[in-house]
């Protein structure tokens, strides 16, 4: 049996994945391969580097660090000045790069990781989904998490890449294609939240965005081959204010997200009788 961890995108909601990982490790479930997109690429890189329970403390510290605050909590006037200067993005990519380096090391390569790992990014020039699984890790993870308008595209070998969530937000199919036959999907909760027809202008863009994020995963779930078992781990429920536009910046919810996801996932794994090791 080949166990795959699929870590999806979702900005600050990605803290839920840390709680899920804690529950998985406590149940003795460890990955044979990992695929990730966007913030899931960052969390996944840490696990691929250190696929042991000790990585949980590392991730918890990273998510509660000043570096994380610099990524998500930068002062609005400074962001607006940067947008005026760059014409394309609000945030400085340096803190995100620093966070990735803190998790895996400056010179990390895919080949040197303890677990096979791949990350998804979207190529601008080719308008194509691209998977990185060889060479330097840092730029590949940064590319996967380069949210348009928030961060500039990441340049790798002369090509510009943006957030992998645009093309494959929860890359279940990729894990199966790479040989996983027991798959644990770590997702941030959006697929558990219902959608309704828009009632006001602000709803239109939000709902269109959610459909674009979710449809690929729905198709992948419908196409799961016989003999492959998929566990979609529960995220533990929404936090107060998640419905608001600025929720993606709220680092004060990190601890609550981790704990809720841990509790829900531990209960799921116990009920499903999932253990390994």
Active site residue 163: yes
SS3 of 210-267: the string is HHHHHHHHHHHHHCCCCCCEEEECCCCCCCCCCCCHHHHHCHHHHHHHHHHHHHHHHH
Secondary structure (H, E, C), 37-62: ECHHHHHHHHHHHCCCCHHHHHHHHH
Q: CA–CA separation, 137 vs 135, rounded Å?
A: 6
Residue with tokens 């799921």: 268
Catalytic residue list contains 242: no
> Among 38, 144, 146, 169, which one carries the catalytic annotation?
38
Cα-Cα-Cα-Cα dihedral sign, residues 231, 259, 169, 32? negative
Question: Using CB atoms within 10 A of its CB, is residue 2 exposed (0-12), middle (13-18) or buried (19+)?
Answer: middle
> Looking at 50, 163, 169, 220, which residue is catalytic?
163
Q: Using the 8-state DSSP alphabet, how is residue 152 labeled?
A: P
The answer to whether the CB of 215 falls within 8 A of the CB of 39 is no
- The residues assigned a catalytic role are 38, 163
């Amino acid at each position: 049996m080949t166990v795959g961890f699929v870590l999806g995108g979702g900005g600050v909601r990605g803290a839920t994945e840390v709680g899920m990982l804690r529950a998985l490790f406590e149940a003795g479930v460890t990955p044979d391969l990992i695929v990730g997109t966007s913030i899931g690429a960052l969390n996944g890189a840490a696990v691929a580097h250190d696929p042991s329970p000790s990585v949980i403390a590392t991730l918890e510290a990273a998510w509660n660090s000043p570096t994380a605050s610099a990524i998500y909590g930068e002062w609005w006037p400074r962001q607006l000045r940067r947008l005026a200067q760059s014409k394309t993005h609000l945030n400085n990519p340096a803190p995100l790069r620093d966070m990735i380096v803190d998790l895996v090391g400056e010179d990390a390569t895919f080949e040197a990781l303890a677990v096979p790992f791949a990350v998804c990014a979207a190529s601008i020039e080719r308008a194509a989904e691209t998977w990185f699984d060889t060479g330097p890790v840092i730029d590949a993870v940064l590319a996967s998490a380069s949210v348009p308008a928030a961060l500039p595209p990441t340049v790798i070998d002369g090509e510009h890449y943006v957030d992998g969530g645009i093309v494959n937000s929860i890359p279940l199919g990729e894990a199966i294609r790479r040989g996983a036959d027991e798959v644990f999907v770590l997702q941030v909760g959006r697929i558990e939240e219902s959608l309704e027809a828009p009632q006001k202008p602000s709803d239109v863009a939000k709902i269109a965005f959610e459909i674009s994020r979710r449809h690929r995963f729905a198709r992948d779930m419908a196409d799961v081959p016989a003999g492959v078992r998929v566990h979609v781990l529960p995220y533990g429920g929404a936090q107060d204010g998640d419905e608001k536009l600025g929720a993606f910046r709220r680092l004060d919810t990190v601890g609550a997200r981790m704990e809720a996801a841990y509790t829900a996932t531990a209960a799921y794994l116990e009920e499903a009788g999932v253990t390994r090791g």
